[in-house]
Structures are given as structure tokens and as C-alpha cells.
Amino acid sequence: MPDHHDLANLIWQIADLLRGPYRPPQYERVMLPMTVLRRFDCVLAPTKEKVLAELTRRQGGKLNDDALDKLLNRAAGQRFHNHSPLTFEKLKGDPDHIDKHLVSYINGFSGNVRRIFEYFEFTNEVEKMREANLLYLVVSKFCDVDLHPNAVPNEQMGLLFENLIRRFNELANETAGDHFTPREVIRLMVSILFNNDDELLATPGTVRKLLDPACGTGGMLAESQNYLREHHAAARLYVYGQDYNKRAFATAAADMLMKQVDHNGGGDNIRFGDSFTEDQFAGETYDYLLANPPFGVDWKKQQKEIEQEHDKSGFAGRFGAGLPRVNDGALLFLQHMISKFEPVRPAEHKHGSRLAIVFSGSPLFTGGAGSGESDIRKWIIENDWLEAIIALPEQMFYNTGIGTYVWIVTNRKAKDRKGKIQLVDARERYVPMRRSLGDKRRKIGEGQDGEPDQIAEIVREYGKCAESATSKVFDNTDFGYARVTVERPLRLCYRMTVEDKARFLDACPHLLDDIQAIDQTLGREPQRDWNAVWERILDLLHQRRSGWKKAEDKLFRNVFTQKDPSAPPVEASSTGGRPAGPERRRGGASRAVTFEPDPDLRDFENVPLSDDVDAYFEREVRPHVPDAWMDRAKDKVGYEINFNRHFYRYTPPRPLEAIDADLKQAEEDILRLLREVTR
């Protein structure tokens, strides 16, 4: 049986025939649909005559296209068929008209397959290859590639697709990770997703639904069904997916049709469209959800629609918790998936939902309290939905070497997990790959070919939910903090100068007489107690029966004062407004003396939710800043998950003697090399 690497190399050799009319980044336009077409041809070959006989028997009847498709699919023994008399071998019989025959052959497929090739936009490539005299040669070469399921099982076919897509996207300098996830990562996610449901899935006749809203080529959907076949053959899993990349969608739809997967209905479980703006599964709920959304992809194109849904629908829509910054839509995917959670109502056979999603490190901590990211984390954690986060090794994905994390989110936590969040550090659980694939140089061992079964180790550690060197269990509130505003008083020194006086009168010439009176009364020497100065000015203005506007009060202070750390604090009204004006000071009512804050000295403290804010302030802030106070009206609650903080391992520095010895040895080596050169 050929290895998927060998098959990929064989198809890659065919792709070299396209050089000239096609640039290497454009090879996928031909090779992916041709690979899919050849696979369909091989799958349908055994029942070809039976389908043609059924078509002949039904011709002239009153069946519509959908009804005829169903009958011919049954004859083919698949969820698709081809009723054209042509095959790949027969296409070679008429080289001069092979383009028309190939299009006719594609049009002979059932409607679901024809739609796939419409998304591949393959008829354009057929015409382009005909004009370049390449079409016959490419079809002939593909006739030599045996993709029959007996020769290439479904799993090998999936790996073949992955290999080809990765190569094509590397040529185009695109992100192969947009389209598929490494198989061992999917197996880890699926194992954890189904880990607590053995009893439920072992019930004969159980039917569950799973959605991947960024399904790419459908790898997660296929692996989910493989897992259930291996571990819970009595259960059925209907899988659904959506993707906005036309070729990835077409490949996934074709892959799902060819594989032995459970479909609920006519097989349109893979749908095309942008999950944010064209939700093809709106109003549906699912038992399980899986996704590996693109890392760090912006949502500017969808910004208008998403913001409208957030503003108008709130929590009745998908994005009520908040909107992340526009350059990373990862947390939008998470909210979209949570909106499809099934409620927990056991009496109605509704058992809630479980979700696994792959993120970069950014969604863990990006954004401070009050930001969209923090509000989304707050919403998830305070609803007690975040069950666990697993840190994966670096260099695990084909298009990036950065660290990645699997989030497990559910609305049906086990009793012992309620109010808890588990962090699992699996960053050192990997085996180096014999051959790198793009940026992927490591994999999680699966217990095959002498590898350790690291997937099972991680799943067991997750299942225990206990403390260890690589597993920590926290209360939900351990990740929350109050962002407290710390104020310090404004301190001003008053002084009138000729230049400042001219500047003020340029703006308020009608106050000339008042300014002259103030100048004569207070003089030109600096005065550090602004409270006393302003009191004298108010008395003077009262005597002169002058009433200034608030804007004039403010301008006077801005022009004639400067900040002075040694000055007394500036008093403010008890409501915290601007310095008290004459009418408020002359009412005779007693008031508490408060100080006006200095915006330039404003600071913030992140106080853990588990700590008492007042005690924290007295302990951590007051000793260093005696004149500070907290403005609790501005408190904001935020959440962040700093993985490194919880798994940091202190490495003591080397002894100085050892460092000195190394330096001395290096000096001796340099001198020895210099002597050899000069000799």
C-alpha cells in the first residue's frame, strides 16, 4: 500500500507539468480538484454499470432531479454518483475533444458533487489547460494514480490532502494552518472533548451533533467520527462544518462525501460562508464544538455587521459579551460557538455542550480590565464555563512555531470541577519529527512506532483534575482582579507675570479691570497655597460684584498656575467637581474637604479578587504614596490567565566561580588561537 508521502510526491510530479502556463502558487487550482475527481472516479468504478442501468430504466419517467439523484446514489452505494458513461480511462480515447468530455463527465455527477466543482471553479482551469495543450497529458497522468479506497484508505486520503495543501500554500506564502490542524492535536482535542461522556455515548441509539465553524478541509470532523467508531460504536455522531475559503470548503465537502461518515439528511453538512456574517447554522445547537480558527486574523471586513449585532442584539445575539480588538478575531469564534451551546435539561434529553478550541497565547491575557477581550473572559469565567486550558508544545503547527493552547469550555461541568479551572502544562510533551513539515518540527507522541503515548498521558492528567508539577487547579476568582484607580492630589503654585497676563487678556479682554485688581492685590510673587489664593480672589470679585463664567475660572487657573510638588493639595468640592466657585462657597453649608486629583499622577493597581481592596491599598500603596487615595467609582473587573506565572520554575544562577572559570578558559583559547595564527 503506498504511503501518503509517496502519493503526494507522485501528484507533485504531475503538477510540474503545469509549469509555464501556471506559476507554482497556482498549481492547487488544478491539482486539488483533479485529485478529488480521480478519487471520486475510483470510488464509483465498481458500481458504474449499475448506475447507468438504473438511469436507463428511469429515463422518461416523471422524477425530478432530486428524486433521481437519490435513486442513483442508492445504486452507486454512496451519497453521490456519476451517470456519465465516461470514466478517466475513456476520457483518453478522444484527445481532440477531451475538454468537452471532461466537462460533460463532471456534469454527470449528482448535484452535491457538481456544487463542489463549482466552488473549485474548475471549468476555467479546464479551458486554460486546453489552450496550453496540457489537459490530455494531465488527465493521462492521473489515470496512473490509483486512489481507490482499497489502495488508499480514508485516513491516508486525508493525510494526502493535508500534504498537498501544505505544499501549495507554502508556495503561495499563505497560511496552511488556516485549512487544517495536525492530526495528533485533533486526536488530543477529541479525546478530551469526549472524555467525560463514556456513559452517555455507550447508550445504544445515542445520536450526538458536532460543529466546526472553521472546518477548513474537515480534518476535525473526520477525526471526531473516527474516535466514536473506535470507542463508542453504538453511538452516532452527525458532524457539521462551515468555511469561507472556497477550495478548502470544496475539499472538505468532497472528503466528507467520500468517507464513511454519518450524515443527518442529504449530506449538505459542510456549508460555505463566513461564520461571522453568514452563519449557515443559525438557530441550531450542538452537543460538541471543535475549532482551530486562524491565529491573529483581523475582522475589518466583517466589522460593520459584527458591531451592529453587538450593539442591537446584545446577549440575544452572539457577541454580547464584548468585541476584541479588530486585528484578532479569535474570541469572536469562541462567542459564536458558545451561542450554539445546548441547554442542560436532562428531562428533555438535553445534556449541555462541550467545546474545544485552539488559540495562540493572545486570548489568554490581551486587553486590560474593561477591554473587549477581558470582558469576554470575564463572561465565560463568571458563568463557570471555562473548564481547562492545555498548553501545547511550540513548533506544532505547519504555519507557525508559536505556543498554542487548547481551551475546554462547557456549560455542564462535573460537580468536582464547578467553580474551578484546570491548567495543564504539556509544553514539554513532544517527540521531534524525523522530517520537518513547514514550521512543524514536533509532534505529540501517539504510542506508535516506539513513540510514548503522550496523548494518553495528557488526557489522564486532565481527567484527574489534581495538582502536580504540570497540572494546577484554581478557583475561578483566582484569575480575576479589580483595576482600582489611585489618585494623588493636585498641587499648584500661583504667580502672575506680564506674559501670562497678556495671554489671558487676549482671550478675555473684558476682564481687564478684574485682572488689574487681582494683580495689585496679590502681587507678582509666587504663592504656593492655591486654596488661599483662590479664596482671596473670590472675595475680591465679590466686592467688585463681578461674576465669572466657569470657563473663565478654568482659564485663569490654567494660565496663572504651575504644578508644584511642595504646594498644599488643591481642595475640590465634596462632589469631586472643579474648584468651588463663589456661589457654592458662600452658602454656609458644611462640606467634607476633598482634594482635586492630578491626572498626570493618576495610577492603577490590579488587586486580585481574592484580596480585600482596602487592605491591599493600605499594605501595598499607602507606605509608598502617603497622600494617595482610591476612586472606587472607577473600579473595573478584569480577567487574565498568565500561564507562565503559574508554571514558572526558578533556575538559580550559576556560581561565580564557575562563570570565572569559563571566562578564563575562553581567554586561554583565544590567546592560543592568536599564537597559532601569528606563528
Q: Under a CB-based contact definition with an 8 Å cutoff, are residues 49 and 184 in contact?
A: no
| CA within 13 Å, CB half, 431 | 16
Q: What is the dihedral of CA 439, 444, 446, 447, to 10 degrees?
A: 110
| pLDDT of 259 above 70 | no
| CA within 13 Å, CB half, 309 | 21
Residue 293 counted as domain residue: yes
Q: What pLDDT is recorded for position 337?
A: 97
What's the CA gap between 200 and 117, in Å, rounded? Answer: 39
Q: What is the DSSP letter of 61?
A: S
> Which residues, listed in sequence order, are joined to residue 82 by a DSSP beta bridge?
109
Which conformational region is residue 614 in: left (phi greater than 0), alpha (psi within -120 to 50 degrees), or beta? alpha
Q: Under a CB-based contact definition with an 8 Å cutoff, are residues 404 and 330 in contact?
A: no
Angle of helix 372-382 relative to helix 330-338, nearest 10 degrees, comes to 30
Same structural domain, 335 and 403: yes
Grid cell at residue 659: 562563570
Task: State the CATH number of the domain containing residue 374.
Answer: 3.40.50.150
Average pLDDT over residues 468-495: 95
Same structural domain, 368 and 514: no
Question: Domain end: 105, 140, 171, which one?
Answer: 171
Q: What pLDDT is recorded for position 261?
A: 54
Q: Write the burial class of residue 50 (CB in 10 Å: 0-12 exposed, 13-18 middle, 19+ buried).
A: middle
Same structural domain, 470 and 510: no
Lowest mean pLDDT among 132-141, 518-527, 641-650: 641-650
Q: What pLDDT is recorded for position 303?
A: 95
Which residue type is seen at 250?
A
Grid cell at residue 26: 497556482
Q: Write the burial class of residue 75 (CB in 10 Å: 0-12 exposed, 13-18 middle, 19+ buried).
A: buried
- What pLDDT digit, counting tens, does each position of 396-417 carry? 887 778 889 999 999 999 999 9
Same structural domain, 325 and 471: yes
When computed from its CA atoms, the radius of gyration of the chain, rounded to whole angstroms, is: 35
Q: What pLDDT is recorded for position 593?
A: 67
What's the CA gap between 248 and 243, in Å, rounded? Answer: 7
Residue 648 counted as domain residue: no
**Domain that residue 139 falls in:** 4-171
Q: Under a CB-based contact definition with an 8 Å cutoff, are residues 637 and 482 in contact?
A: yes
Name the H helices within 347-495: 362-365, 372-382, 454-464
Tell me the pLDDT of the chain averaged across its residues.
88
- Give the pLDDT band (50/70/90) at residue 578: very low
* DSSP string for residues in 188-241: HHHHHHTTT-HHHHTSTT-EEEEEETT-TTSHHHHHHHHHHHHH-TTSEEEEEE
- Give the pLDDT band (50/70/90) at residue 170: low
What's the CA gap between 88 and 90, in Å, rounded? Answer: 6
Q: What is the DSSP letter of 476?
A: G
Q: How many residues does the chain have?
A: 679
Question: Domain end: 444, 479, 514, which one?
Answer: 479
What's the CA gap between 244 and 301, in Å, rounded? Answer: 13
Residue 291 counted as domain residue: yes
| pLDDT of 89 above 50 | yes
Same structural domain, 297 and 371: yes
- Give the pLDDT band (50/70/90) at residue 67: confident
What's the CA gap between 563 and 580, in Å, rounded? Answer: 19
Task: Give me the number of domains the chain comprises.
Answer: 4
Lowest mean pLDDT among 149-163, 178-192, 578-592, 625-639: 578-592
Could you tell me whether strands 288-291 and 207-212 are parallel, antiparallel, or unpaired per DSSP bridges?
A: parallel
Query: Which residues neighbour 610 within 8 Å (Cβ) at sequence distance 6 or greater?
Result: 475, 477, 478
| pLDDT of 575 above 60 | no
Residue 621 counted as domain residue: no
Residue 421 counted as domain residue: yes
| H or E segment to which residue 247 belongs | helix 246-258
Residue 294 counted as domain residue: yes
Lowest mean pLDDT among 351-355, 485-489, 589-593, 599-603: 589-593
Grid cell at residue 54: 438504473
Average pLDDT over residues 82-94: 90
Grid cell at residue 71: 435513486
Closest CA to 86 of 108, 65, 71: 108
Which residue type is seen at 354?
R
SS3 content of the chain, % helix, strand, coil (to 5): 45, 15, 35
Same structural domain, 164 and 200: no
What's the CA gap between 506 and 508, in Å, rounded? Answer: 6
Q: What pLDDT is recorded for position 169?
A: 66
Q: What pLDDT is recorded for position 201?
A: 85
Average pLDDT over residues 345-373: 92
- What pLDDT digit, counting tens, does each position of 269-283 carry? 899 999 999 999 999
Residue 379 counted as domain residue: yes
Q: What pLDDT is recorded for position 177?
A: 45
Same structural domain, 208 and 254: yes
Q: Where are the beta strands (DSSP E) in 461-522?
A: 471-475, 480-487, 492-494
Q: What pLDDT is recorded for position 583?
A: 38
What's the CA gap between 184 and 486, in Å, rounded? Answer: 49
Closest CA to 393 of 443, 357, 439, 468: 443
Angle of helix 28-44 relative to helix 122-131, nearest 10 degrees, comes to 110
Same structural domain, 298 and 200: yes
What's the CA gap between 476 and 286, in Å, rounded? Answer: 25
What are the CA-CA distances from residue 532 to residues 167, 524, 529, 578 (Å)?
A: 77, 15, 6, 16
Which residue type is seen at 168?
F
Average pLDDT over residues 63-67: 80
Return the residue matching grid coordinates 483534575: 465
Distance of CA 280 to the CA centre of its chain: 20
Same structural domain, 277 and 383: yes
Angle of helix 183-193 relative to helix 219-231, nearest 10 degrees, comes to 50
Q: What pLDDT is recorded for position 256?
A: 79
Q: What pLDDT is recorded for position 447?
A: 87
Same structural domain, 672 and 546: no
Same structural domain, 216 and 259: yes
Grid cell at residue 569: 493639595
Question: Domain end: 453, 479, 505, which one?
Answer: 479
Which residue type is seen at 137?
L
What's the CA gap between 333 and 296, in Å, rounded? Answer: 12
| pLDDT of 128 above 70 | yes
Same structural domain, 236 and 148: no
What are the CA-CA distances from residue 583 to residues 413, 590, 592 (Å)?
A: 61, 14, 17
Return the residue matching grid coordinates 481547562: 388
Lowest mean pLDDT among 199-203, 537-541, 544-548: 199-203
Q: What is the DSSP letter of 655?
A: P
Residue 637 counted as domain residue: no
| pLDDT of 341 above 50 | yes
